[in-house]
Amino acid sequence: MRFAVLGSGSQGNGTLIASDDTCVLVDCGFSLRETERRLALLGVAPGQLNAIVVTHEHADHVHGVGLLARRYNLPVYLSRGTLRGMRKPVEAAGFLAGDERLQVGSLSITAVAVAHDAQEPLQYVFSDGHRRLGVLTDLGSYDDRLLAHYQDLDALLIEANHCRDLLARGHYPYFLKQRVGGDLGHLNNHQAARLVAELGWHKLQHLVLAHLSSKNNQPQLARQCFVDALGCDPGWLQVANQDSGLDWREIARPI
């Protein structure tokens, strides 16, 4: 099982998860041309994708979904609320809700409802029966139900959106600071690191920090929060960035 990131941040998101002959794209926040370019860099032809799974209707996650799906005839799965919230609706191949499971080829995909200011936002846990990868961005808070879904992972891509202090001192208008930092906004570095500490991280082969704000965060600040909370090697932490994403990472089968 392996994964790669096309790009991560408020300008566009896309994550690939692959196992055997199955390849799924989570979100597509880039233009069609930019998506094709980024997929090519990762060695994937758009027609090879088996499905697009959408987390929520914010433009950085859905901007390119409709065009990509229509051009390459790809099935799209999302929540009913997400479809309702999309400015340019797509044809849904199927609907998902929290706690529901979808099988696409060799990948089992579990939808997890999250607290975010969208209609019916979901995040996902992927499994090929042997390994588990969690994708978790765009949430402002979490509870025990969410933690239960993200137990026992072999790899985790998690949002470390902002530094509390940079957000407080920065130039965002007050309402936006409240939104981003609120319970329906985005996880800050400390919250994300604490979440991973609560889950336990010693089994993780990969821990990828994602959806970093370009204005209210810096990779070294995010890393430091995780190092402080987990006591892990800073070199082990990975950051998926906006421009170059993250190259393929293999998740080995646990012994």
Which residues of the chain form contacts with Zn ion (CB under 5 A)?
A: 58, 60, 138
Indicate the residue among 58 and 149 with the shorter CB distance to Zn ion: 58
Cα 194 to Cα 168: distance, rounded to the nearest angstrom = 20
Contact predicate 58/85, CB 8 Å = no
Give 108 or 119: the residue with its C-beta nearer to Zn ion.
119
| Three-class secondary structure of residue 186 per DSSP | coil
Q: If phi over 0 gives left and psi between -120 and 50 gives alpha, with beta otherwise, what is residue 231?
A: left
Taking the complex as a whole, the smallest distance from the CB of residue 179 to Zn ion amounts, in Å, to 10
| Length of the chain measured in residues | 255
| Closest residue to Zn ion, based on beta-carbon distance | 58
Tell me the closest approach of the beta carbon of residue 241 to Zn ion, in angstroms.
Answer: 14
Report the distance separating Cα 46 and Cα 33, nearest Å.
11
12: left (phi over 0), alpha (psi -120 to 50) or beta: left
In the bound state with Zn ion, the residue whose beta carbon lies nearer, of 116 and 249, is 116
Q: In angstroms, give the least distance from the CB of 6 to Zn ion.
A: 13
Residue among 44 and 54 whose Cβ is closer to Zn ion: 54
Q: Of 163, 105, 98, which Cα lies nearest the Cα of 124?
A: 98
Region of 152 please: left (phi>0), alpha (psi -120 to 50) or beta.
left
Nearer to Zn ion, 128 or 138 (CB): 138
CA angle (159, 162, 167) in 5-degree steps: 160
In the bound state with Zn ion, the residue whose beta carbon lies nearer, of 19 and 242, is 242
Looking at the Cβ atoms of 120 and 138, the one nearer to Zn ion is 138
Q: CA 236 to CA 215: how far, in whole Å?
A: 24
Tell me the angle at which helices 65-72 and 32-41 cross, rounded to the nearest 10 degrees: 70
Give exposure, 122-137, as e/b (b: 16+ Cβ within 10 Å).
bbbbbbbeebbbbbbb
Least distance to Zn ion, CB of residue 118, Å = 6
Q: How far is the CB of 116 from Zn ion (least distance, A)?
A: 6
Q: How far is the CB of 253 from Zn ion (least distance, A)?
A: 31
Write down the least CB distance from residue 166 to Zn ion, Å.
18
